[in-house]
């Protein structure tokens, strides 16, 4: 019994090393003075030189700004749509077209990105021909494309959260005469709020990171941050990309840590409330 535990634990540690060594190496080398990414220039390191290079690169700043705007819009719209779809799938029982909706919300998650990108571009071209909109490709087409695949992820997050709650609270509110919309706003939404926030963050990250779909539906002159990184990286390793990676990893890591702590805090408080309520009933 013990030996098997040892094997899987060793595998876990090695697996985590495998997952984190590349990220750590980028962080370390972002402070390296040398242009050669892999040679550590001990005499002049650590240095913030590449962070300076990064922030004076107008192309990177413009692209980051575009990515930020697209990601905020795409995350917001896809969270609304995904919450609707997740609620319908988890709470409406069997309805006509349910399996179609299930299919359309799971398929985008696994669909190879080249196919999603190509099909969306062809849609926009066809629309432009037919109704004259959208006029050319740019921020709008990128946002529309991102909403579609982000909402699939949000739907899954919301649906599995709702599946974890039974419907007794909602049914009690209904029996007391609350209208469906009120039940949703006062009961369902507060219950799934952590999932809604998690869904928004997930959608934001997916949109912020997307390269392939954006490449298809972005017009000339509208490059998102991953597109700029990709064109830099294809030409070879560049040290300022390490600096960018370090910044992005720090933001994400601190965000995830704070979110986890907050959720745990909420969970603890809820458990304590339940215990107090139980004690009060005795």
Partner 1 sequence: MRKTRRLPGRQLVAGIPALWLAVFFLIPFLIVLKISFSEARLAIPPYAPLITWLHGLPLPRIHLSSYGYLFTDPLYLRSYLYSIMVAAVSTVFCLLIGYPMAYAIARGGEEWRSFLLMLIVLPFWTSFLLRVYAWIGLLQNDGLINNVLLGLGLIHHPVTLLQTDFSLYIGIVYSYLPFMILPLYANLEKHDPALLEAAADLGARPLAAFLRVTLPQSLPGIAAGSLLVFIPAVGEYVIPTLLGRTDQIMIGRMLSDEFFDNRDWPVASGVAILILLLLVVPIVLLQRVERQELEGGET
Nearer to partner 1, 226 or 282 (CB): 226
Out of 73, 151, 173, 195, the only residue in the binding site for partner 1 (CB under 8 A) is 151
**Which of 237, 258, 234, 251 shows the shortest CA–CA distance to 25?**
237
Out of 74, 88, 150, 195, the only residue in the binding site for partner 1 (CB under 8 A) is 88
**What DSSP character marks residue 179?**
-
**Which of 54, 62, 58 shows the shortest CA–CA distance to 223?**
62
Q: Which of residues 15-34 bind partner 1 (CB under 8 A)?
A: 15-16, 18-23, 25-26, 29
Tokens standing for residue 91: 């709470």
Q: Does 177 bind partner 1 (CB under 8 A)?
A: no
Stretch that binds partner 1, among 41-49, 54-62, 118-126, 273-281 (CB under 8 A): 118-126
Nearer to partner 1, 176 or 279 (CB): 176
Number of residues that bind partner 1 (CB under 8 A): 98
Q: Does 252 bind partner 1 (CB under 8 A)?
A: yes
| Smallest separation (angstroms) from partner 1 to the CB of 7 | 7
Nearer to partner 1, 159 or 223 (CB): 159
Q: Which of residues 186-245 bind partner 1 (CB under 8 A)?
A: 205, 208-209, 211-212, 216, 226, 229-230, 233-234, 237, 241-242, 244-245
Q: Which of residues 49-78 bind partner 1 (CB under 8 A)?
A: none
Tokens standing for residue 60: 């990177």
Q: Does 81 bind partner 1 (CB under 8 A)?
A: yes
| Smallest separation (angstroms) from partner 1 to the CB of 21 | 7
Tokens standing for residue 107: 């398929």
Stretch that binds partner 1, among 56-64, 157-165, 185-193, 271-279 (CB under 8 A): 157-165
**What DSSP character marks residue 184?**
I
Q: Does 129 bind partner 1 (CB under 8 A)?
A: yes
* C-beta separation of 266 from 190 below 8 A: no
Tokens standing for residue 106: 């799971």
Q: Does 45 bind partner 1 (CB under 8 A)?
A: no
Burial string for 57-82 (b: 16+ CB within 10 Å, else e) reads beebeebbebbeebbbbbbebbbebb
* C-beta separation of 189 from 132 below 8 A: no
The dihedral sign for the CA sequence 110, 113, 117, 119: negative
Nearer to partner 1, 118 or 139 (CB): 118
d(CA 74, CA 181): 25
């Amino acid at each position: 019994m013990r030996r098997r535990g040892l094997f899987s634990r060793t595998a876990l540690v090695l697996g985590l090393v495998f997952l984190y060594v590349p990220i750590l190496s980028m962080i370390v080398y972002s402070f390296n003075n040398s242009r050669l990414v892999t040679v550590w220039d001990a005499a002049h390191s650590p240095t913030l030189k590449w962070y300076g290079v990064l922030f004076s690169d107008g192309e990177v700043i413009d692209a980051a700004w575009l990515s930020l705007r697209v990601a905020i819009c795409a995350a917001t719209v896809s969270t609304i749509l995904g919450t609707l779809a997740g609620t319908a799938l988890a709470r409406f029982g069997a309805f006509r077209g349910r399996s179609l909706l299930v299919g359309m919300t799971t398929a985008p998650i696994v669909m190879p990105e080249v196919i999603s990108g190509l099909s969306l571009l062809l849609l926009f071209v066809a629309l432009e021909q037919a109704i004259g909109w959208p006029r050319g490709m740019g921020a709008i087409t990128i946002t529309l494309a991102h909403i579609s695949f982000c909402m699939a992820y949000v739907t899954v997050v919301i649906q599995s959260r709702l599946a974890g709650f039974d419907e007794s609270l909602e049914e009690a509110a209904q029996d007391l005469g609350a209208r469906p919309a009120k039940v949703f706003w006062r009961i369902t939404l507060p219950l799934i709020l952590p999932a809604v926030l998690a869904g928004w963050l997930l959608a934001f990250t997916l949109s912020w990171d997307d390269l392939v779909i954006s490449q298809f539906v972005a017009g000339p002159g509208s490059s998102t941050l991953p597109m700029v990184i990709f064109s830099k990286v294809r030409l070879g390793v560049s040290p300022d990309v390490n600096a960018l990676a370090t910044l992005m990893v720090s933001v994400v890591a601190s965000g995830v840590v704070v979110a986890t702590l907050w959720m745990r805090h909420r969970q603890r408080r809820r458990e304590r409330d339940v215990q107090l309520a139980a004690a009060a009933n005795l």
